[in-house]
Every structure is written in C-alpha cells, then in structure tokens.
Amino acid sequence: MHMKKIIFGNLKSNKSSNQMKKWFVDFKDAIAKDSKKSNSEEKLFSNIEAVLAPAYPFLHLVTENSSETGLVLGTQDISSYPSGSYTGAISTQNLAGLDVKYTLVGHSERRKYFSETNEVVAKKITQALSAEIIPIVCVDEKSIDDLAVKVSAKDMAHCMVAYEPSSAIGSGKNAALSDVTSFREKVKTLFGDIPYLYGGSVNEKSVAEYLLVTDGVIIGGASLDAKQFVSLLKSAQGENPVGL
Ligand code: PGA
C-alpha cells in the first residue's frame, strides 16, 4: 500500500491553553529553523503525515494553524453514542467542520482508566466511520482476539490498527522490532492487510526503525515538547524515502 507514513502525536490530558499556544509557537519556530526556504513545512512533511491530537478544548488550534504547520487533526477518543443527550461525551456532530481525519479508539488508557471494553470500541468505530473519520484501533496481545469477535470484519476493513503493548506506553521500554513485526502478522491474519501502526515509548532515535516495519507510529511523551516533536518528525522523514 502506498501511503504516507503517519506520525500521530497524542498529547493526552496534558497542557493548559497558554501551554498549547506556546506549543504552536515552538513548533513553527522549529520548522522555520529547519529550512531557510519559505516552504519549509511542505518540505518537512513531503513524505510523512504529521497528526496532532490535543485535548478537546484545543482541537480548533490544530485546524487554525494547519496551513502554517502542515499538521493534520486527530482526536484521542470519540463518543460511542450519536449526538443527543449524552452529557460529557464528544460526538461526531460536535467535531463536524473541524476537519478531524483520524481518531484513536480503545487506547489502553481508555481501557484501563475508563473501563472501555471491545463492545464500546465497536460502537465508537461505527460512530467514527459514519462521520468519515478513520479509526485507529489500539490493541495488544490481550485485547486483539476479543476485538476480532466484537467488531465486524466490514468495519475493521476501514480501520487502521495500532499495536500498543501497555508495558511499552510511557515507560521508556519500547517493544522489540521483532514483536512489532510478529504482531503485524497476527493483525493481517485477523483483519486483512489494513494499515498498521505501533505506539509505545517511540522517540526521535527509534522512530525510523519502527517506520521500516509499520505504516506509522503513535507518539505520546515525545510529542509534548514541540521542538522535540519536530526533530522526531525530521528523523521520520529522513528514513522514509519518497515512494516507499
Ligand atoms: P508514549 O505513549 O509515547 O508516551 O509511550 C504512546 C501512546 O500512548 O500511544
């Protein structure tokens, strides 16, 4: 499949309004430093797709800055319900007009802290697809077989899957490349040849090697500092020749 490699920055529940504004200032500075040419962001992202998923109150900042930054908008989660009386939930209707391209679904932190099951994940996938938002479904060894039972093959064919072993998330203990490769085979067996991402303690040093065996990566900790995120994007870009 010929697609740009996806670098998905997941800011999780971090940052105040002022810190977010600073993040964008730093990001633009870092891009500007990268090249003297005026079309620097275009050069930086010519063969990767850089996605940012901030907390909900800051989604509009990604949209408003997209022409200057080249960043595509993602969300960290989506409601399992349609629009209506579901206090506190963010529905696809709430997101309409913001240009959300991707949403994470079933992140291990959702499963752990919000008791999210694969039944809920299945509903979220249906909601996202109905709004033409691409679900990036996060799974690990423990959840993948049940996921295959709970989500229809038809829906999964339109999703991307991210291998997110919980031991690797936020721990500095990134998974071995061999594990990422063998999990990909499992995903392929269950769901077919759909885009496959990895997330868990990826940084600017390790990103290039993960991109050799995946279609993209999910970046938590290393996206919090915009300058660090830009150098990670540069590493990703360098190891991903055009046309790969
Ligand atoms: P991390 O998070 O990069 O901080 O390990 C990754 C993730 O949650 O997907």
Reported as a single tens digit per residue, the pLDDT across 91-100 is 999 999 999 9
Q: Which of 197, 122, 116, 125 is nearest to 158 (CA)?
A: 125
Positions marked active-site: 107, 164
Query: What is the per-residue pLDDT for 41?
Result: 55
pLDDT in tens, 5-33: 999 999 999 999 999 999 999 999 999 87
Query: What is the per-residue pLDDT for 43?
Result: 61
- Residue 39 — very low, low, confident or very high, per pLDDT cuts 50/70/90? low
Query: What is the per-residue pLDDT for 206?
Result: 96
The atom number, within ligand 1, closest to the CA of 168 reads 5
What is the distance in A from the centroid of ligand 1 to the CA of 169?
5
pTM for the structure as a whole: 0.94
Residue with token string 């423990």: 142
Residue 165 Cβ < 6 Å to ligand 1: no
Could you count the other beta carbons within 10 Å of the beta carbon of residue 37?
Answer: 9
Nearest residue (by CA) to ligand 1, atom 2, is 220
For 52-57, the CB contacts below 8 A with 24+ separation are 52/9, 52/11, 52/223, 53/8, 53/9, 53/10, 53/11, 53/102, 53/103, 53/104, 54/11, 54/15, 54/20, 55/11, 55/12, 55/13, 55/14, 55/15, 56/90, 57/17
pLDDT in tens, 41-67: 556 678 899 999 999 999 999 999 999
Query: What is the per-residue pLDDT for 96?
Result: 97
CA dihedral 180, 185, 188, 191 (to 10 degrees): -80
Token pair for residue 103?
């949403």
Token pair for residue 232?
């990670």
**Mean pLDDT over residues 70-92, rounded?**
98
> Average pLDDT, whole number, for the chain?
93
Residue 160 in this model has a pLDDT that exceeds 80: yes
Residue 221 Cβ < 6 Å to ligand 1: yes
**Which ranges in the chain belong to alpha helices (H)?**
17-34, 40-44, 59-64, 66-69, 92-95, 108-113, 118-130, 144-150, 153-156, 177-191, 207-213, 226-238
What is the distance in A from the centroid of ligand 1 to the CA of 37?
32
Query: What is the per-residue pLDDT for 36?
Result: 52
Query: What is the per-residue pLDDT for 44?
Result: 63
Kindly report the backbone phi and psi dihedral angles of residue 190, in degrees, each rounded to the nearest multiple of 5, phi listed first.
Answer: -80, -40
Residue 208 Cβ < 6 Å to ligand 1: no
Strand partners, 196: 161
**Mean pLDDT over residues 136-143, rounded?**
97
The atom number, within ligand 1, closest to the CA of 109 reads 8
What is the distance in A from the centroid of ligand 1 to the CA of 137?
14
Residue 206 Cβ < 6 Å to ligand 1: no
The atom number, within ligand 1, closest to the CA of 174 reads 5
- Residue 224 — very low, low, confident or very high, per pLDDT cuts 50/70/90? very high
Name the pairing type of β-strands 72-75 and 134-139.
Answer: unpaired
Q: In a mutational test of the pocket of ligand 1, which residue from 138, 218, 224 has the highest number of ligand atoms less than 8 Å from its CB?
A: 218
What is the distance in A from the centroid of ligand 1 to the CA of 182?
20
Nearest residue (by CA) to ligand 1, atom 1, is 220
Residue 87 in this model has a pLDDT that exceeds 90: yes
Residue 170 Cβ < 6 Å to ligand 1: yes
